[in-house]
Amino acid sequence: MGVLGIIGSVLLLFETGTSDSIAKLIVILLSIVFHAIMIFRWYGEMFYPHRMGKVKAAEQLLIQFARERLFSRKPVSGPPGALLNGLAEFLGSSKTYRECLQPAIADMQHEYFEALAAGRTMKAGWIRFRGCCAFWNTWGLTVVVNTFKVITKFMAG
Amino acid sequence: MSASEPRLPSLSEKEFTVLNLLIGRPKSEKYGLELVALSEGQLKRGTIYVTLSRMEDKGYIESSLEKRNMPAAGTPRRLYRATGLGERVYTAWSLAQKHMYGIFKPRPA
């Protein structure tokens, strides 16, 4: 599983050529989690061999779930980012939503549907993930910029 | 410079890149991710929308939602184009850069 984690991370980074630092960080964190699982499994096999049956069954379920999510070609039930869109509309100011957050979601959805139309399910999944990272990145940056503006105004009197 | 004098329009490196993409290429409306793809790594997808929003505030660009002929899934994209002010600032900035480069060109060793 650890080796798979490394291969997956390297492939994702080089295949897409992404420059999104948050996306890279999350992929590296996922790789670390996979390594932790591998070490945990090795530890269990060494010291708790009688409990390994349950761990293996759980792993099989996890793999089956991932396979179904990644490779199934079920029809799309709704556009990705619909939840984020609702959240941004509800929590963000109307200007932030209109100028920063809504365009980020719209572009991600368009890119996602293009990948799906080309039959690239894995790429569509990656676009969705990267789009979510870009969305949170944009929102975070907006909060920082707006806070800075408020502080500057306050300091200027 | 006194407080009553108007401030010169400022243009950051990223804003210059955006205007270059909107004006320099065949002039057309472009959406956020298209600008990121065309910039060859100069613009990032996490910061492009904040930059575009700031440029809209400054009056360098304007935006509108894309028009769709038929009903489509998802949110309509926002298309950006340069304004007259944006074009003038871009031209002035390009000229200034050209002159500055001529003055401060590194001398051959």
ipTM rounded to 2 decimals? 0.79
From CA B100, how far away is CA B81, in angstroms rounded?
Answer: 28
From CA A11, how far away is CA A17, in angstroms rounded?
Answer: 10
| Mean pLDDT over the full length of chain A | 77
From CA A27, how far away is CA A6, in angstroms rounded?
Answer: 9
Residue of A nearest to B30 (CA): A107
pLDDT of residue B89: 92
Chain B residues close to A102, C-beta within 8 Å? 75, 78
pLDDT tens for each residue of A30-58: 777 777 777 877 777 777 777 777 777 77
pLDDT of residue B55: 93
Please give the span between the terminal C-alpha atoms of chain A, in angstroms, as a whole number: 58
Task: Judge whether residue A108 has pLDDT over 80.
Answer: yes
Residue A76 identity (one-letter amino acid): V
Which residues of B lie inside 8 Å of A (Cβ-Cβ)? 31-33, 41, 44-47, 49-50, 52-53, 56, 63, 73-78
Residue B88 — very low, low, confident or very high, per pLDDT cuts 50/70/90? very high
| Structure tokens belonging to residue A4 | 């798979």
CB atoms under 10 Å from CB of B31, counted, come to 19
DSSP A19: -
Nearest to B77 among A79, A110, A134 (CB): A110
Residue of B nearest to A82 (CA): B74
Task: Judge whether residue B60 has pLDDT over 90.
Answer: yes
